[in-house]
Amino acid sequence: MKTILSTITITLMAAATASAAFNAAEFPPLNAVPPTNTPQVQEWLKAINLADVPVFPIHTGNPPACPAIATIPADQCWRSCQSCRGDDIVTCPTPGVWGLTFDDGPTTFTPQLLTTLKENKVKATFFVMGTNVVQNPTILKQEFDEGHHLASHTWSHHPLTTLTNEQIVAELKWTEKAVFDITGMQMKYVRPPYGDIDNRVRAIVKKLGYIIVDWTSDVFDSKDFSLNATPTEANLAAAVTAFTASMTAYGANPGAKGIITLEHDLYQVTVDFAKRLLPVAASAKLKIQAIDDCLGDKLPYQNSKASVNNGTTGGNGTSTGKPSDNKSSAASSIGTKVVMTVSLAVIAAALSAF
């Protein structure tokens, strides 16, 4: 009896926290680098030590322009201009695995993609922008509730090597807060906009508890983003054909590590592209997985806990990771009122058993 009531209490508390905490008015201006002189950002900055972060030039451009290679310090490991990836994750360790990722959402086009993913019984990682999370909280919650993996793509999609240390912290933490306030989960993975990162940025990102994920190579960058300029059927079909060829060639090499692809859920045409591309997995004999699954990470968020209480919530009411289909964690339930209604029914059933 005590165990049942304790579980119900935890469920109510977690649901109330996740659903009641989000307030769009608390967040900085959309589509702009957040200011660093606000009390909230200053509080975040006090919690980390930036004194030992490597010092490299702060660049300009969106994306940044590359100077002469000879002028770039060898130990900068700048992905954009030195093709250096450091210890960034660029593959899935198991051959035949397709790490499916989407950047820049959530948008009003994302639900179409979610329907297709559900129909195909596959999960993906969504690298979300804080600006779009704040504008589309219900869609963000749907992604999480349907078992997809949420990761950061920063607040404003500004190249991180062009920002100060403090601005990088603000970009990541505001996005983190938005997702946490909606789902109760603290993201653990990040993809820098444009893949733009160097050892200065890496040091800051890691201090905030993040793991960096890129895509395997330019061959597996779908370049679907460019389709929006001229979203004709001919261009869409050509892009699908070209990317299918890359995927098929990979599938013919069974010994290679799993791949991580780059797609977007930003426009109608990019969602249409993704929907047409999914059948390639079957023809190329690839297994589609979200990034946490392809890495075997059973704790896909910074505040994931070991499973207790039937694997839905940790002993402190924190969700234990992403929910599976129709088995949402308490923190991702649809509002306190719904959970409370279900919980009262559980209480009644429990009491009738005694």
Catalytic center residues: 103, 264
Contact 113, 271 (CB under 8 A): yes
Query: What CA–CA distance (Å, rounded) separates 331 from 320?
Result: 9
DSSP 252-298: T-TTSPEEE-BEE-SSHHHHHHHHHHTTHHHHTT-EEE-HHHHTT-S
The burial of 337, by beta-carbon neighbours within 10 Å (0-12 exposed, 13-18 middle, 19 or more buried), is given as exposed
Contact 252, 90 (CB under 8 A): no
Query: What CA–CA distance (Å, rounded) separates 302 from 143?
Result: 18
Query: What CA–CA distance (Å, rounded) separates 53 from 272?
Result: 42
Instruction: Tell me which amino acid residue 147 is.
Output: G
Quick one: DSSP state of residue 286?
-
| Crossing angle (nearest 10°) for helices 233-251 and 268-277 | 40
CA distances from 8 to 79, 308, 316, 330, 348 (A): 48, 13, 12, 10, 12
Q: Which two tokens stand for residue 348?
A: 């009644």
Total residues belonging to the chain = 354
* Dihedral (Cα; 326, 327, 332, 333), 10-degree rounding: 70
Instruction: Tell me which amino acid residue 120 is.
Output: N
Quick one: DSSP state of residue 89?
B
